[in-house]
Amino acid sequence: MSLIDIKNLSVTYFLGKSNEVRALSDANLEINAGELVIFFGPSGCGKSTLLYTIAGLEKPTQGTVMVNGIDLSQMKNKELEKYRQNTIGMIFQAFYLIPSLSVENNINLPQVAIGINRKKRQEKTEELMKYFGVYEQRKKVPTELSGGQQQRVAICRSLVNDPDIIFADEPVGNLDSKSAQDVLGLIQELSVKDKKTVILVTHNPAHLEIADRIFFIKDGKIIDTKVNKETRKIIVGKSSQQESKDDSLNLSPVTNKTTTKENDNSAEVDNIILEYKAKEILSEVLTGLSYDEINKIENYIKEALVNSNSDYKKLTTYLNTDYMQDGLNLNKRVSQKLITKLETTTKEIEELSKEFTNKEEKHNSYVHQLRRYLLDTFEVNIRTTDAIEAMETIIEDRVMGVTDRKGVQEKFDRPLKKGGVGLDKRTAKKMAKHLEMIILGRYQKSSDKQKIKK
């Protein structure tokens, strides 16, 4: 009997409401004890929802999730609590370590929750810290560690109660390439050497070579399942040795090992991997950075914007820090130029937001004000009434979401007799881009808008 058996599983968020979202649809799969499987697919495809449902953190809308022959949906709260404490361990992309606790206290906290005495807690914690190479950091708090060290601590924490199943949700998404390889190697060892069942969620096809089986997911559906036919490649970590007969990724259709429904979806699988490859190549050609490095920079920008302080100190540190310390190691002149551009753009969006929020509230002529502002900013003189009316119609369409930036640019450039404004291509592009910044500035926190009103 399989360790995990899922039948006809569907998960729908906001069921029956106007914003209803079906995250998973009729998923069927089995996972055997000791396997390392990957849920692979693009962002938003449902792979994390599937993982959290098996972990008992999401409830199925329909279907069953059986673990060790027990239906999770039939468990009472106390039973689910014990299941999460003793049967599973979680490793997250964001680590989720408690910043005020030391490394060793973060690791042994799950044992405190189940009442293990102090001596046994300490013994288990020290054993794990030594094995995963963080014993020397045991008295430090998480902020004093590199990303790779924090994830090693998180792995220790996930193992401290000796669970049968380890869930890893994009565990290397915040790490540099070297730390990512080390962490993946350690996670793989949990299956190979410690015989744990490991379920890894990723959008990166470079990780597929470490799995026994891969479930390809798209739009909430498992579209295909592949098995790694040859001896798996063990990625070198702190205490692992490379054991591989063949360095190439050798995937073959799944055999009778699983009852997952098979379809010939190889084209869709190829498209998922092709999408990632295209982004990786484009990122490298345009910026010299990997797709994951750009994502990390984007996350730092989001953090600064969410905190409403436009403070890019963390990003600056990341850009300037050495590779070996989880940084990007950019030339300082280049990194300063990037930060200055970000700060200038952010400030401009904020200023435009304040200016036009005031105008929108004081006058019922927001579109008219935008049109005048754009013409003044780019020193464009339009005299005909038809061109002015066309421009305001285009701006109104963008404000109302009828068109997008590309549509605005095309119409600004279109001849007047064809319903456009008749601007030259260069001005049309710059003006459409500037309008987009103003539109973005309108979407502020309500608290910011209250400040403007005052």
Give tens-digit pLDDT for 305-350.
Answer: 766 555 788 888 888 887 666 677 777 887 888 888 778 777 776 6
pLDDT for the residue numbered 452 = 36
**Stronger pLDDT, 440 or 312, i.e. the higher one:** 312
Global confidence as pTM:
0.61
107-137: pLDDT as tens digits: 999 999 999 999 999 999 999 999 999 999 9
Domain boundary among 235, 258, 276: 276
The answer to the question of residue 334 being in a domain is: no
Confidence label for 363 from pLDDT (cuts 50, 70 and 90): very low
**pLDDT band for position 442 (50/70/90)?**
low
Tell which wins on pLDDT, 226 or 173. Answer: 226
Question: Is 226 contained in some domain?
Answer: yes
User: Can you give the length of the chain in residues?
Assistant: 454
Of 276, 295, 325, the position where a domain reaches its end is 276
Higher pLDDT, 333 or 69: 69
For residues 24-44, give the mean pLDDT. Answer: 93
One domain, residues 157 and 51: yes
- Is residue 351 over pLDDT 50? yes
CA-nearest of 54, 247, 44 to 163 is 54
Q: Which two tokens stand for residue 155?
A: 């792995």
Confidence (pLDDT) at 19: 81
Residue that finishes a domain, picked among 250, 276, 302: 276
The answer to whether the beta carbons of residues 92 and 48 sit under 8 Å apart is no
Residue 305: strand, helix, or coil: helix
Query: Could you tell me if residue 337 is inside a domain?
Result: no
* Percent share of the chain, pLDDT over 70: 77
Are 163 and 64 found together in one domain? yes
Same domain, 166 and 255: yes
Q: Which of 45, 157, 142, 14 is nearest to 92 (CA)?
A: 157
Q: Report yes or no on 258 lying in a domain.
A: yes
For residue 92, the domain's CATH number is 3.40.50.300
Query: Phi and psi of 138, rounded to 5°?
Result: -60, -30
Which helix (H) or strand (E) element contains residue 69? Answer: none
Answer whether residue 298 is part of any domain. Answer: no
Higher pLDDT, 311 or 96: 96
Of the ranges 96-100, 176-180, 319-323, the best mean pLDDT one = 96-100
> 113 and 229 share a domain?
yes
Q: Give the H or E element holding residue 22.
A: strand 21-31
Residue 199, both tokens:
């379920």
Q: How many domains does the chain have?
A: 2
Same domain (yes/no): 266, 377: no
Domain membership of residue 374 (yes or no) is yes
Structural tokens at position 98: 């408690």
Residue 200 covered by a domain:
yes
Same domain for 152 and 32? yes
Same domain, yes or no: 245 and 382: no
Expressed as residue numbers, the domain containing 82 is: 4-276
Give a yes or no: residue 341 inside a domain: no
Residues 240 and 378 both lie in one domain = no
Per-residue confidence band for 200, with pLDDT thresholds at 50, 70 and 90 = very high
Residue 82 structure tokens: 């014990």
Q: Which residue has the higher pLDDT, 290 or 170?
A: 170
Q: Which of 304, 338, 262 is nearest to 28 (CA)?
A: 262
